[in-house]
Structure 1
Amino acid sequence: MEPENYMNFETMKKLLLVAAVAVMGVTINAQEFNFGPKAGYSLSMLKAEGDGESYKFDSKSTFYAGGFVEYKFNDKFGIQGEVLYSPLGGKQEESYTETIMGVTENTTAKTDFKLGSFQVPVSAKYFATENLAFGLGVNVGIITSAKVDYTVTTSAMGVSSSESGSEDIKDNISTLNLAPFVGAEYTLENGLFFDARYNLGVSNLLDTLKNSFLQVGIGFKFGGN
């Protein structure tokens, strides 16, 4: 296993332990305790606000994967902690034209923000039925990497040129990304479940830049169900 992947794996194990301790801060009954893996699709959105104006980046499709622990106090209420790895970010494309000494030049600039993050969502759950639950909580995100890939294409008089590159911006990005969330979950009798949640980014990652994201996934519950 590569050193970087090993460190990420070790970090995930430690964070999952923290989530488990947070959930299991009560006397555990095996029939009320569930755990397992989960993974799914994320739609990440960046938004910049300032001076009375706002700008939304194009959304970015990513993924998430990790594990969870759940404790049910009774048939109606429970708590859940998770540790997930999820790349986030957003895309931007701008085009402009300028004329210099009678020559028209067209330029298109594309940027792709790529944020690697571990997430520790902790939520309170309400079980409307035996299979359907609703959750409300906060997602504590830890940004582990951040870079911007860019491509600038210029064309004039039928001749085009392109320049691409990547810039590491981790030192300029806030490490902590807090995102309150609401969601719903449907569990089948065999333990397979499907869930969806919307995470509203409230932390400034870079100046006035915030990151919100939608998650839709699948998982499996081991335990009492």
Structure 2
Amino acid sequence: MGNRILVSCKDLERIVFGIILLFSFAEGTFAQWSVGGKVGANFSNLKNGSMAESMTQRVGFNLGAVGHYQFNDWLGIQGEILYAKYAVLYNGSLLDMGNVEGNGNLSYIHDPKIRSHYIDVPILAQISPFKRIPGVSFEVGVQPGFFLGENIKDGKRSVDTNLYDRNPVNCSLLFGAAFKFPANWYFDLRYVLGITDNYESYHGINTRALQLSLGYLFQL
């Protein structure tokens, strides 16, 4: 499963780079590099599969570094390295496999908040179609996410775990828009569409998230 996910992410990255290179030579180009950082909120949930029916959206966050290359007036490419936390609420009870009660029975974690931690690497093409509104751009790309760990909290205790064996790499498609202010600040709004299984033991469960972020870029 893990190898198939890696190949899928690599194939999507090649497609994105191919499209960017194709359009970058459509008109005169100019090299303009920018680097900076960003921070934002993830409004996330898990979809598809019977287990996901008991999930409710919760808020996480993302933060990290940004690199941007502007090919011409209307096309750029942006790459990021983000630490991201995705959170969902499970409306039910999960077995706490690491905590056995005095009578030998397994204890339960009721209505737990499941928080998963990733290093996400978004790679996006940014298209700015409006000459009269140069700060507005639309984004499309791919995001490999590398799993770091998982934490479950029920309000009383917090347990580090890996429910149902999360896959080491989670690949997603990204769709969104960004607005850049004259003072180098910008914000973006993205929809994260997971296309690979989050779990090895539960097939078909994918990430869905809405991301709202604020960033700053320095022109080099």
TM-score (norm. length: structure 2): 0.71
Structure 1 distance, partners of 2:160, 2:39, is: 29
Which of 68, 75, 78 in structure 2 is aligned with 1:77? 75
SS of residue in 2 equivalent to 1:55: helix
Identify if the C-alpha distance between structure 1 residues 108 and 89 changes in structure 2 by more than 3 Å, giving closer, same or farther: closer
Q: Is the 8 A contact 1:30 1:223 kept in 2?
A: no
Identify if the C-alpha distance between structure 1 residues 192 and 124 changes in structure 2 by more than 3 Å, giving closer, same or farther: same
Structure 1 distance, partners of 2:75, 2:46, is: 33
Q: How many residues align?
A: 175
Which of 167, 173, 195 in structure 2 is aligned with 1:174? 167
Structure 2 distance, partners of 1:148, 1:187, is: 37
Structure 2 distance, partners of 1:222, 1:30, is: 17
SS of residue in 1 equivalent to 2:196: coil
Which of 176, 198, 206 in structure 2 is aligned with 1:205? 198
Identify if the C-alpha distance between structure 1 residues 80 and 30 changes in structure 2 by more than 3 Å, giving closer, same or farther: same
Residue 116 (structure 2) pairs with residue 115 (structure 1): yes
After TM superposition, give the deviation of residue 60 of structure 1 in Å: 1.2
After TM superposition, give the deviation of residue 30 of structure 1 in Å: 8.6
Counterparts of residues 19-98 of structure 1 (less than 5 Å): 32-49=32-49, 55=53, 57-94=55-92
Q: Displaced runs of 4+ in structure 1, greater than 2 A?
A: 147-151, 163-167
Counterparts of residues 119-198 of structure 1 (less than 5 Å): 119-129=120-130, 130-150=134-154, 166=159, 168-169=161-162, 172-198=165-191
Q: Is the 8 A contact 2:31 2:71 kept in 1?
A: no
After TM superposition, give the deviation of residue 47 of structure 1 in Å: 2.1
Identify if the C-alpha distance between structure 1 residues 218 and 167 changes in structure 2 by more than 3 Å, giving closer, same or farther: closer
Structure 1 distance, partners of 2:90, 2:112, is: 5
Identify if the C-alpha distance between structure 1 residues 126 and 74 changes in structure 2 by more than 3 Å, giving closer, same or farther: same
Could you give the per-residue CA deviations for residues 113-141 of structure 1, whole angstroms, max 9, x where no partner exists? 11111100001110123210101001111
Structure 2 distance, partners of 1:168, 1:217, is: 28
Identify if the C-alpha distance between structure 1 residues 56 and 34 changes in structure 2 by more than 3 Å, giving closer, same or farther: farther
Q: Is the 8 A contact 1:81 1:123 kept in 2?
A: yes
Structure 1 distance, partners of 2:72, 2:183, is: 20
Structure 2 distance, partners of 1:150, 1:193, is: 36
Structure 1 distance, partners of 2:197, 2:158, is: 25
Q: Is the 8 A contact 1:44 1:60 kept in 2?
A: yes
Q: Is the 8 A contact 2:114 2:153 kept in 1?
A: yes
SS of residue in 1 equivalent to 2:212: strand
Structure 2: runs of 5+ lacking an equivalent: 1-16, 94-107
Residue 208 (structure 2) pairs with residue 219 (structure 1): no
After TM superposition, give the deviation of residue 44 of structure 1 in Å: 1.1
Q: Partner amino acid for 1:111?
A: P
Q: Is the 8 A contact 2:46 2:52 kept in 1?
A: no
2:6 maps to none
Structure 1 distance, partners of 2:158, 2:65, is: 35
Structure 2 distance, partners of 1:68, 1:138, is: 15
Q: How much identity, in percent, do the aligned residues show?
A: 23
Identify if the C-alpha distance between structure 1 residues 84 and 30 changes in structure 2 by more than 3 Å, giving closer, same or farther: farther
Structure whose CA Rg is larger = 1
